[in-house]
């Protein structure tokens, strides 16, 4: 006998992908605090631009968008939802790729996973099922 299965709606797929991306972001940042060089820079106030009010605000804005997309992917109308997911998925893929050079292995690994997840977001947006309008 075959196992039963359900068809997962694209909105749920997109929401789950954004949540997965956020978990990778969070773990990447958390793992960074196991690095002595990062901890020493933060403690000594030498965290560069990211350690300033402006840098932390920029990071907060950058991370609030994928966080909001977990919810927005479920509630937005399909047309806006599709384009927003494709645009933001591609944008965050590029951000990930830009931040990867010269990174530690854990960050490279998470970056590859994040890029795959955000490209899947673009793919599911691109292939969003169509239906005839009445």
Mean pLDDT, the chain, whole residue set: 93
Confidence (pLDDT) at 51: 73
The answer to whether 90 touches 121, Cβ cutoff 8 Å, is no
pTM over 0.85: yes
Q: 104-126 burial string, b = 16+ CB within 10 Å, else e?
A: eeebeebbebbbbbbbbbbebbe
In the structure, what pLDDT confidence band is assigned to residue 23 with cuts at 50, 70 and 90? Answer: very high
How does pLDDT run across 77-119, given as a tens digit for each residue? Answer: 999 999 999 999 999 999 999 999 999 999 999 999 999 999 9
Confidence (pLDDT) at 95: 96
């Amino acid at each position: 006998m075959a196992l039963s299965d359900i068809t997962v709606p694209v909105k749920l797929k997109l929401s789950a992908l954004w949540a997965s991306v956020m978990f990778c972001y969070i773990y990447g940042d958390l793992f960074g605090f196991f690095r002595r060089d990062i901890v020493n820079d933060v403690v000594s106030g030498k965290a560069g631009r990211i350690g300033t009010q402006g840098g932390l605000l920029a990071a907060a804005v950058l991370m609030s968008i994928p966080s909001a997309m977990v919810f927005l992917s479920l509630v937005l109308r399909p047309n806006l939802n599709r384009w927003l997911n494709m645009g933001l998925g591609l944008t965050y893929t590029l951000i990930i790729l830009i931040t990867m050079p010269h990174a530690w292995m854990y960050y490279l690994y998470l970056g590859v996973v994040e890029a795959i997840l955000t490209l899947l977001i673009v793919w599911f947006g691109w292939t969003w099922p169509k239906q005839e309008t009445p």
